[in-house]
C-alpha cells in the first residue's frame, strides 16, 4: 500500500465512489446507513449527508493505516469530538491532541495496568451485588425492569467509586442523572445541557478541592493518583482543571460504553439458551457457587468469548472519525488534506470476508486459533493504535465479573413484544431500553 504524505500528484489515484444524500437515513440509523453504503459501494465510499462530505473506509488494512501506521496524519478535529465530546470532557484524554494528549497519556497509563486494576475487583463485586439485590426484589414480584438502565447504574457506580472511592455515594444518583442527560441531549448549545454540565462540574471540582485539603498517605483511588501524579520534565502536578477534564473523560467513557455492551450482552443471551447453558457449565466447573476472583479470569475462557462476540455485534463506540492533515493515499484512493475519514466498528465487524454469517451470534469466533488466523484490525471494539481506549482492561474486567455473578443468581428473560431498536447516538444504545424479567436460581 503506497503512502503519499507530500502530495498525490505523482500518480493517478482512484476516486472513491460518491453517494449524495442520505441525510434522513444518517439521522435515523447512521450505523445501518454505513452498513448499507459498504454493501452497495464497497470498502471505500465518499458520502455527503451533512454539510461536510466524508470517506467511509471498511477494511482492516485501512483501519491500520488511519489509526496505526499513518496515525500521525489523522487528528480528532471532527464534529463528534470537537463539538459534542469536548464540550463535556474539555482537554481530557478522550479529545485532546498532541503534545498535551501524549503528555497526559504517559502520566495516566500506569494507573490502568492490569496488575493495578486488580485492586478494584472487590469494588466491582460489591457494586454488582447491590444491583443484583434490586433484581432480586423485581424477581420476587415478577416485575419487569430495564436491564440497560440497570447496567448504566451499575457501571456508573463502579467507575465513580474507582475514581472517588466512596466519597460520591451520597451524590451517585445526581451524578448518574447528569451524565446520562449530557449523553442523551448531546447538543452543547442547549440550555439544559449547559445547566446539567454546571451541576456536574460543581460536584467534581468540590471533590477535587476537598481531596487536596486532606491528601491520603497512600493512593486509594484514581483521583488520588491523578492528584499525586507528577510530570517527569517539571515535577509539577496537574491543575484542578486538567484533573477535572480527565475525570469527566473517564466518567463518560468509563461507564457508558461498558453499560451498553452489557445491556446488549443480556439481550443476546436471552435468545441463546445453549450458550447460557455452556456458560453455566463453565461457572460450575470453575467457581462451584463461590464469588469470582481475579485468579479465576484465565479459566473463564467461554465467558471471555461470549463477551467478545457481544462487542463484535454491538460495539458501543460504533463510529470512529478522523481528519486528514495532509494529502494521503489509502488502497489506491485519493484522500485529500482536510478530508473526514470514518471507520465504523459496527460495519467492520460485519465484513463478510472476515466474519462468515456476520449477523449470527457465535462465541466460537474467538477461539485462539480463529483469533490468530484473523486480520488483527478486523476487530476493534476499543479502537486501535496509540489512541486505543485506555480503559479497555478495566471494561473487560467489569464484564468478566458481572456476567458470571449475575448468571449464578438469575435466569433472565426478555419481556415479549417489547421493541428492541438500535439507537446510534454517540454510543450504540437500545432506544426503548431492554425490558427483562428475572427468575431466582
Q: pLDDT by residue (tens digit) across 406-424?
A: 999 999 999 999 999 999 9
pLDDT tens profile 318-335: 999 999 999 999 999 999
Element (H, E) at 94: none
Listed in sequence order, the DSSP H helices in 100-218 are 100-108, 114-117, 121-140, 147-164, 172-185, 191-213
Q: Contact at 8 Å (CB) between 200 and 208? A: no
CA distances from 149 to 45, 80, 335, 338 (A): 36, 24, 41, 39
User: CA angle, corner 252, sides to 437 and 298, nearest 5?
Assistant: 65
* Burial (Cβ within 10 Å: 0-12, 13-18, ≥19) of residue 340: buried
| Domains parsed from the chain with CATH numbers | 18-440 (1.10.630.10)
pLDDT tens profile 72-93: 999 999 887 887 889 899 999 9
Peptide bond into 260 cis (omega under 30): no
Whole-number pLDDT of residue 2: 42
pLDDT over 50 at 6, yes or no: no
Q: In whole angstroms, give the CA distance from residue 246 to residue 336.
A: 33
CA distances from 414 to 115, 362, 409 (A): 37, 20, 17
**Cβ partners under 8 Å of residue 416, min gap 6:** none
Whole-number pLDDT of residue 176: 83
Judge if pTM exceeds 0.85: yes
Whole-number pLDDT of residue 269: 98
Percent with pLDDT over 70 in the chain:
94
pLDDT tens profile 220-258: 789 998 998 999 888 899 999 999 999 999 988 888 899
Amino acid at each position: 500500500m503506497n503512502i503519499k504524505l507530500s502530495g498525490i500528484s505523482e500518480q493517478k489515484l482512484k476516486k472513491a465512489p460518491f453517494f449524495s444524500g442520505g441525510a434522513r437515513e444518517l439521522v435515523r440509523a447512521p450505523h445501518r446507513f454505513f452498513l448499507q453504503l459498504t454493501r452497495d459501494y464497497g470498502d471505500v465510499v465518499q458520502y455527503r449527508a451533512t454539510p461536510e462530505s466524508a470517506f467511509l473506509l471498511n477494511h482492516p488494512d485501512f483501519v491500520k493505516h488511519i489509526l496505526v501506521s499513518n496515525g500521525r496524519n489523522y487528528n480528532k478535529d471532527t464534529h463528534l469530538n470537537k463539538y459534542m465530546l469536548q464540550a463535556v470532557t474539555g482537554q481530557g484524554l478522550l479529545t485532546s491532541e498532541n503534545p498535551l494528549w501524549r503528555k497526559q497519556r504517559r502520566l495516566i497509563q500506569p494507573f490502568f495496568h492490569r496488575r493495578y486494576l486488580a485492586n478494584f475487583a472487590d469494588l466491582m463485586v460489591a457494586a454488582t451485588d447491590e444491583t443484583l439485590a434490586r433484581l432480586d426484589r423485581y424477581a420476587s414480584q415478577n416485575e419487569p425492569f430495564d436491564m440497560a438502565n440497570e447496567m448504566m447504574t451499575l457501571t456508573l457506580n463502579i467507575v465513580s467509586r474507582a475514581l472517588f472511592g466512596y466519597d460520591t455515594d451520597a451524590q451517585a444518583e445526581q451524578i448518574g442523572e447528569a451524565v446520562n442527560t449530557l449523553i442523551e441531549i448531546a447538543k452543547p448549545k442547549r440550555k439544559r445541557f449547559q445547566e446539567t454540565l454546571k451541576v456536574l462540574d460543581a460536584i467534581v471540582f468540590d471533590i477535587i478541592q476537598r481531596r487536596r485539603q486532606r491528601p491520603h498517605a497512600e493512593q486509594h483511588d484514581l483521583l488520588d493518583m491523578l492528584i499525586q501524579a507528577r510530570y517527569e520534565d517539571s515535577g509539577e502536578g496537574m491543575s484542578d482543571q486538567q484533573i477535572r477534564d480527565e475525570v469527566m473523560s473517564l466518567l463518560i467513557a468509563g461507564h457508558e460504553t461498558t453499560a451498553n455492551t452489557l445491556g446488549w450482552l443480556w439481550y443476546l443471551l436471552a435468545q441463546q439458551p445453549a450458550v447460557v447453558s455452556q456458560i453455566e457449565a463453565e461457572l460450575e466447573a470453575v467457581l462451584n457457587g463461590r464469588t469470582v476472583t481475579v485468579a479465576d479470569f484465565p479459566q473463564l475462557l467461554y465467558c471471555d468469548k461470549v463477551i467478545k462476540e457481544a462487542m463484535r455485534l454491538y460495539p458501543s463506540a460504533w463510529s470512529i472519525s478522523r481528519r486528514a492533515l495532509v494529502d494521503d493515499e489509502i488502497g489506491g484512493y485519493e484522500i485529500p488534506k482536510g478530508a473526514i475519514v470514518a471507520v465504523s466498528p459496527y460495519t467492520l465487524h460485519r465484513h463478510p470476508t472476515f466474519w462468515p454469517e456476520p449477523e449470527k451470534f457465535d462465541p466460537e469466533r474467538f477461539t485462539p486459533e480463529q483469533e490468530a488466523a484473523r486480520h488483527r484490525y478486523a476487530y476493534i471494539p476499543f479502537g486501535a493504535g496509540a489512541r486505543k481506549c485506555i480503559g479497555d482492561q478495566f471494561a473487560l474486567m467489569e464484564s468478566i465479573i458481572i456476567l458470571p455473578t449475575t448468571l449464578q443468581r438469575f435466569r433472565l428473560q426478555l419481556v415479549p413484544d417489547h421493541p428492541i431498536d438500535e439507537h446510534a447516538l454517540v454510543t450504540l444504545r437500545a432506544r426503548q431500553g431492554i425490558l427483562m424479567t428475572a427468575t431466582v436460581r
